[in-house]
Amino acid sequence: MENYIVSARKYRPSTFESVVGQKSLTTTLKNAIASQKLAHAYLFCGPRGVGKTTCARIFAKTINCLNLTAEGEACNECESCMAFNEQRSYNIHELDAASNNSVDDIRQLIEQVRIPPQIGKYKVYIIDEVHMLSTAAFNAFLKTLEEPPKHAIFILATTEKHKLLPTILSRCQIYDFNRISVQDTVNHLTYVAQKEGINAEADALNVIAQKADGGMRDALSIFDQVVSFTAGNVQYKSVIENLNVLDYEYYFRLTDKFIENNVSDSLLIFNDILNKGFEGSHFITGLASHFRDLLVSRDAETLQLLEVGASIRERYREQAAKCAPKFLYKAMKISNECDLNYRVSKNKRFLIELTLIQLAQITSEPDDESHGRSPKQSIKPVFTQQNNATVQQQVAAPVSQNGQQTPSALPNMAPNSQSAVPPPVHKNPVGNIAIKEEKKIPVMKAGSLGISIKNPYQGEQKKQNSVAEQSQSIKRTEEDFVFNERDLNHYWMEFANALSIEQRGIMMRMKNSSPKLLSDTSFEMVVDNEIVARDVTTMIPKIQNYLRTQLRNSKISMTVRVSDAQETVRAYSRVERFQMMAQKNPDLMKLKEAFGLELS
């Protein structure tokens, strides 16, 4: 019985022409060999299994060939090529940097570099996984890499170029290997299957190519595994069963249910997928990719982006014709958001089921939003914005128990006035009035709703009949809101907190000195010296404008006064405040001692 050789080794390319998926790189190397313009150091970087080491070996074999072919390939007949094929060539040295990454290993390599080749022109040193070398080994290797002997060529291979030192990168010609496309992988697997006499479906090979994710070595390894499972008859169903791949059929069925707005069947299909052992993250990722494939299938120009077999490609084209672009856009967005939230979700199954419910409602009628969550993910305002007239009307009007506004809440109008129609609470009793949005005052003076409005024209409103006079009365009312000292302190602190860092001194003064209300519209601030008084006086216009706007009273005025010698204006600490309270009420001290309390 002959020794079995895996396909990845048995069908490893031996010429530039047989390398799969790297046409531009192999052409560059062949032209460099033909023109005798060889660099002393090369860096091959890219994903695993795309041909980096293979191309390095072919390159080393070709530059030492004594009789190159017309196509620039090695002849495989000269002594150098035969020694290479029989793995006895002394001109090619391979070093695995993952296990030989010390300074001593690099020093031994440098000693070997000095010896010229016995057969051929060049000695090629292939260092695989070069990013694993230690920093000391890199530094020991720098001088030789920059100025090696004429007969020495270094080929460095790595999957992680970003881990290499910039001094290494600057001394090499860099070749970036690409992932091998699905179609190129399928073509190569078809070639291997024909050579081995294996019956393989195109859709089955396509699944293998997608599973390999651009790596030919991985694709050939999976191919050998599937061949062993199917005994040489590679079928689509056998492949998805052996590789635990989610069938396209599930996604096609789900999409049909989404178009039909069938939530129940969608949830049952998802339950069947979970029972077969598939992870929810794998399912939602595949669903998002399915919607993407449907989108590219709608246009003949983007159809080339669809990397599936011929029969499945036709199914995509048929289902894409049923799906509107708007549906696909929303479906892709919802699926992607579910994929992003899946990792942090504590109830992962519920998250996916909620996503399926949203997807099944995309094509429903706009007014059909009574079941489940609407797929339109928009944030609605929590509070409805109201204009000043409506707020003022609700503040001034007593409200009855059934929610209707009492007649006394409306402006007093003559009985024969045509505009004296009792409006609902949320409508403006006067016509179109230019109204600006104002901030609610947290505390007002006494009134039926805890608010008091000063209206000097209340006696005259009984005699007014025209809409113009009513509008003028309302405008005057807006300017005459009454406030108390608590309202004043609230917006006083709000203004102080809004000051910049450069005005930190005034900010602290305002926080430690509460304003004292002298009358209905005037107040004063007491400071302890003339310097502070001058600084605060310059801020009076800004403070007055801010308070007039927030308290909705244009008559507010502010004054600054320097305290008397006996007057104390500094802020008291918590201990001092407690001592002052205890002097007025000795029971507080008894309470503190009885419970063993301490002031923090």
Q: Tell the CATH topology of 248-360.
A: Zinc Finger, Delta Prime; domain 3 (1.20.272)
The span from the CA of 195 to the CA of 384, in Å, is 74
How high is the pLDDT of residue 570? Answer: 56
Q: What is the CATH number of domain 485-562?
A: 3.30.300
CB atoms within 10 A of CB 138: 19
- Identify the residue whose tokens are 């129940």: 264
The answer to whether residues 165 and 53 touch, using CB atoms and an 8 Å cutoff, is no
Question: Across-strand partners of 562?
Answer: 527
How high is the pLDDT of residue 359? Answer: 92
The token duo for 150 is 């004429």
Per-position DSSP letters for 275-323, written without gaps between them: HTT--HHHHHHHHHHHHHHHHHHTSTTTGGG--S-HHHHHHHHHHHHHS
How high is the pLDDT of residue 43? Answer: 92
Q: Average pLDDT for consecutive 10-residue bins of the chain (600 residues)?
A: 77 87 89 88 90 90 87 85 85 86 87 83 89 87 86 91 88 90 89 88 86 87 88 84 82 91 91 88 91 88 77 84 90 92 91 93 63 43 43 45 43 42 44 43 42 45 47 51 85 87 80 83 84 84 88 88 68 66 82 78
How high is the pLDDT of residue 154? Answer: 92
Annotated domain spans of the chain: 7-176, 182-242, 248-360, 388-482, 485-562
Q: Which of 466, 461, 463 is nearest to 410 (CA)?
A: 461
The span from the CA of 294 to the CA of 567, in Å, is 81
Per-position DSSP letters for 406-462, written without gaps between them: PGGGS----TT-TT-----TTS-SSSS------PPPS---SSTTS--B--TTHHHHT
Considering the four listed CATH numbers 1.10.1040.10, 1.25.40.10, 1.10.1750.10, 1.10.8.60, the one that applies to the domain covering 182-242 is 1.10.8.60
Q: What is the CATH number of domain 7-176?
A: 3.40.50.300
How high is the pLDDT of residue 470? Answer: 52
pTM of the model: 0.55
The one-letter code for the residue type at 397 is: A
How high is the pLDDT of residue 163? Answer: 87
